[in-house]
Amino acid sequence: MTFDQLGLTTGLLRAVADQGYTVPTPIQQQAIPAILQGQDILASAQTGTGKTAGFTLPLLQRLAETKTSGKRVPRALVLTPTRELAAQVGESVITYGKHMPFKAAMVYGGVSFGGQARQLRQGIDILIATPGRLLDHVSQGTIDLSAVEILVLDECDRMLDMGFIHDIRKIMGRLPDERQTLMFSATFSKPIQQLAHTLLKSPVQIEVAARNTTADRVEQVVHPVDRHRKRELLSHIIGFHNWQQVLVFTRTKHGANRLAEQLAKDGLKTAAIHGNKTQAARARALKDFKQGRVRVLVATDVASRGIDIDQLPYVVNFELPNVPEDYVHRIGRTGRAGNEGRAVSLISDDEMPLLIGIERMLKQSLTQDVVAGYEPSFSSDTSNVRSVGAPGKPRRQRPRRRSGGSISAPRRAGAGARG
Ligand code: AMP
């Protein structure tokens, strides 16, 4: 399946090709034709599935195909729960719509209202907004929603969790009844189904497997190690196992650059991608990595969003992320599409609290494996930490072992030890 088989026009196909995408993701394969036909959709798809392009591409095409009233007021409205997501969607609209004549704007809280109002006055076609700030504009009369043809509710379950339901309903009251509505949600919970029932007309239901869950296929292992020996251990692991395609996560752009330089000195072909690199440099690094010219790709969480490789076998957390959910996103990059994956985390003393947070979220203890020759100078046992779910109840001892001369395949930790 290719993008042109989905019925997209040349401008969009060019934009997709510029991004280096060749194969549409499952959500794109299902959503794009349905949206192009003008149908409402209810899709369960999480971040990482390619859902943004899944609605942005056909949305742009629909706008190009239909006539305008002449006034330059928003014809498409995308609602998101957070500014970050609004900014991300906005970026996608600009990226995919670069060969099209549309103007997009984002409105969300925390930035100047006046600046947004001015931009809206100048005329826009696509509006990406968080509900609260959008309602401020509605009540100030700085936005006219009467010409909206397509409404997208992105991460709908999160919007409900954040208490936006009343705001959403108020916004609905400002939109024409005659419109196409696309709902995206990670789950199809009862409240989501109820909302879908009131907002959607005979929707096409699309469900794609979540990519960002810690699939059973992903073997997760933690190597406790002193911080200053992490790089050395990483080179050792890659070399010992002869790993040929490894994605390594660092927390900062600077850290990514430094690690890439050090690994290169160790003789490993390495590239780094992060927010300070140009889009062209990132695309090049990714292409080299996919095609095997680069063996190790060091990335920050934000930059890694563009990485879509279906058979990525190894993910390394050189540093743990600050947010436990990011751990799940990171390791969701491996073990996809029926393939085995391995996620390795190098943990120094100061990262123990982060590890505890991750294990709590996963409701699972991760197997710890001290690599011979890299014994840490600290104790990495977190089993005296009490569980959130069962206050006062001590956790069972985590499985812990020492490997001999090699780093053997880790045994799986007893799942639910703290469940
Ligand atoms: P999303 O789920 O929309 O957040 O997208 C996740 C990431 O996948 C984004 O960084 C996109 O750039 C990327 N992506 C979307 N569609 C494709 C595709 N067909 N092939 C490769 N990467 C893609």
Q: Which of 21, 27, 55, 78 to mutate to test the pocket of ligand 1 (most atoms within 8 A of CB)?
A: 21
What is d(CA 93, CA 90) in angstroms, rounded to the nearest whole number? 5
CA of 382 to the centre of ligand 1 (A): 36
Ligand 1 pocket residue status of 47, Cβ below 6 Å: yes
Closest C-alpha residue for ligand 1 atom 22: 308
Per residue in 53-106, pLDDT tens?
999 999 999 999 987 767 789 999 999 998 888 988 999 999 999 999 999 999
Ligand 1 pocket residue status of 46, Cβ below 6 Å: no
Ligand 1 pocket residue status of 53, Cβ below 6 Å: yes
The amino acid that residue 267 corresponds to is: G
Ligand 1 pocket residue status of 51, Cβ below 6 Å: yes
pLDDT of amino acid 380: 76
pLDDT of amino acid 306: 57
Ligand 1 pocket residue status of 24, Cβ below 6 Å: yes
What is d(CA 362, CA 258) in angstroms, rounded to the nearest whole number? 31
Domains and CATH numbers, the chain: 3-207 (3.40.50.300), 218-388 (3.40.50.300)
What is d(CA 306, CA 322) in angstroms, rounded to the nearest whole number? 20
The candidate with the shortest Cα–Cα distance to 211, out of 314, 326, 335, 75, is 335
pLDDT of amino acid 271: 95
Ligand 1 pocket residue status of 305, Cβ below 6 Å: yes
Signed CA dihedral, 33, 38, 44, 48: sign only: positive
Please tell me whether residue 104 adopts helix, strand or coil conformation: strand
The amino acid that residue 145 corresponds to is: L
Cα dihedral value 222, 228, 231, 236, nearest 10: -70
Which stretches of the chain drop beneath a pLDDT of 50? 211-213, 384-399, 402-419
Per residue in 326-367, pLDDT tens?
888 788 777 655 556 889 999 999 999 999 988 887 778 899
Closest ligand 1 atom to 88 CA: 4
> Phi then psi for 221, rounded to 5 degrees?
-140, 145
What is d(CA 159, CA 90) in angstroms, rounded to the nearest whole number? 18
Ligand 1 pocket residue status of 26, Cβ below 6 Å: no
What is d(CA 414, CA 419) in angstroms, rounded to the nearest whole number? 10
What is d(CA 209, CA 189) in angstroms, rounded to the nearest whole number? 16
Sheet holding 296-299, edge to edge: 270-273, 296-299, 246-249, 314-317, 341-347, 218-224, 367-370, 400-402
What is d(CA 5, CA 82) in angstroms, rounded to the nearest whole number? 33
Helices 83-96 and 10-18, interaxial angle, to 10°? Answer: 120
Closest ligand 1 atom to 19 CA: 12
- What is the H or E stretch that residue 247 is in? strand 246-249
Sheet holding 180-185, edge to edge: 104-107, 126-129, 76-79, 150-153, 180-185, 41-44, 204-207
Closest C-alpha residue for ligand 1 atom 18: 21
CA of 203 to the centre of ligand 1 (A): 24
Alpha helices for 48-96 (secondary structure H): 51-65, 83-96
Q: Which of 3, 52, 247, 273 to mutate to test the pocket of ligand 1 (most atoms within 8 A of CB)?
A: 52
pLDDT of amino acid 397: 39
Query: Residue 39: is it exposed, middle or buried by C-beta count within 10 angstroms (0-12/13-18/19+)?
Result: middle
The candidate with the shortest Cα–Cα distance to 368, out of 305, 310, 410, 318, is 410
